[in-house]
Structure 1
């Protein structure tokens, strides 16, 4: 990667200084190593990584990238939440279970406030200029919509709260066709877009438009 991009450039500063992603990667590594070796030191280190990750969360629910908490709000559902869930899945009786559940609740509650700006229920957000939008940043991409579906569904499981599951279902419904264009972005479900822009959408063994594993 160092040969491909210049990490000293300002646009890479957030990634270069992201302790959130560093702790996430270390936690996932600890979980896997403990599963393979059953060595208690990896489980103990994983617990510390969980505590470190939880320390990045603001009381309102979003996360910071840096230890000094000077970065902007990070409200997305990405690998940090997945790593916390994976730890809890493998350690269901951990003494930090409630802290992880609380982290999911704060994150879900913060984002749920942006679920009502459209009749379709996709999660919106606040733009840099202060505008509140239902089509926020890149949430028209399946990756973001699907990630929120997973995060909200997981929060529903951990907290036994149906409202999060209902919100998760709205995200999936958007992907499979409940959107203004009446277009499904899942192969074999509903009406496809009919035109595609990516070379991987035309592969032998798949219908046009299907990206394997997409």
Structure 2
């Protein structure tokens, strides 16, 4: 008999609904600032009331939406301060996770190689959103390393950061039909995992975050300017696509 917890059909429906809405928000198909009402979400995604409510509450718990009394939910805005804070956290946590994973020697190298290939291989244009495909593959790559660190709390924290980071990438690159050029770092990380080199894994992860930070900051700034968004008190709120 398995020691795991068997989920009820209702709980599994809630998981599926949450994951579907999470992808829509992270890919910015549901834009920052958009207002979501339960009836609209139920109709758009074919959800029951209880399933919809659970999914929205989970999204609120992880910070992707905010509950608005008597209105529903609003997708959390993105600011330049958010960008700075997220990268600061990544610089603190991701290199450490990479070191722990390399030294533990528990990474599935074959899986990392497949995910790395998915990150750099363009998806056929008639199958879906290019940036969405990249975001899922890239998140899975880094989460595989985080899980291999053996630190469950570190893994959970990085998972939340990667979700929020996905929105920044989608805002900066999605409208341009481009993807970040980060695959060289992925290959070096895989090599460090394969050889158990904690020093190299930590150094590559740190440089990866620093270079990615500069790239994302530049594209997000361009996206904000092209959207006609104004800056106030060093907090630039993304209003493009917000619900009226």
Structures share fold, TM-score greater than 0.5: no
Which is bigger in relative contact order (C-alpha 8 A, separation at least 6)?
2
**Larger helix percent:** 2
Give the alignment's TM-score, normalised by structure 1: 0.28
